Amino acid sequence: MKTLLSFTALILFSLLSFSQTVEGNWKTYDDETGDLESEVKIYKKDGKIYGKIIKIYKVKNGETNPVCELCPGQRKNKHVIGMNIITGLSKDGGEWYGDESILDPNNGELYDCKIWLENNNKLAVRGYLGWFFRTQYWVRVK
């Protein structure tokens, strides 16, 4: 009986652990005002994590799909909706990280990035510039 309970607990723990993933749709918020800004789809491709903007809630100057005038390289003057803002994060334990792998389309800057789950519905997204960092918390779309 004890073996059966242990086996059942192991199976349940495995299922719960498996269900916790950073993949999915996440709502982003302005960390100063708390206003809902966008929705980002995080997905895995070739073992790495990527994230693209799929919806914008905070419309500026009536533009529902603005272009990123300040973005570097191939993203310059491209529409923000559909743009990958997280690129090529690698897994390290329970975290995903990458150098110059997150883009802030508001200022066109690239930052080193680390993301991890605080819980199944809350994602910590941290951008680094040298020793300085800023962490945002995104909420899973249900």
57-113 pLDDT, tens digit each: 977 777 888 999 999 999 999 999 999 999 999 999 999 999 999 999 889 999 999
- What rounded mean pLDDT belongs to the chain? 87
Q: How far is CA 86 from CA 13, 19, 96, 114, 132, in A?
A: 30, 22, 11, 10, 19
pLDDT at 49 > cutoff 80: yes
What pLDDT is attached to residue 31?
82
What pLDDT is attached to residue 17?
43
Residues of the chain with pLDDT > 90, as a percent, come to 73
Domains and CATH numbers, the chain: 22-140 (2.40.128.520)
Residues of the chain with pLDDT > 70, as a percent, come to 87
Contact of 85 with 102, CB cutoff 8 Å = yes
Helices (H), the chain: 2-19
Q: Which two tokens stand for residue 84?
A: 């990958």
47 torsion bin: left (phi>0), alpha (psi -120 to 50), beta (else)? left
User: Which range has the worst mean pLDDT, 8-12, 18-22, 117-121?
Assistant: 8-12
**∠ Cα 65 138 43 (to 5°):** 70
Helix/strand/coil for 83: coil
pLDDT band, residue 116 (cuts 50/70/90): very high
pLDDT band, residue 5 (cuts 50/70/90): very low
**∠ Cα 84 100 45 (to 5°):** 45
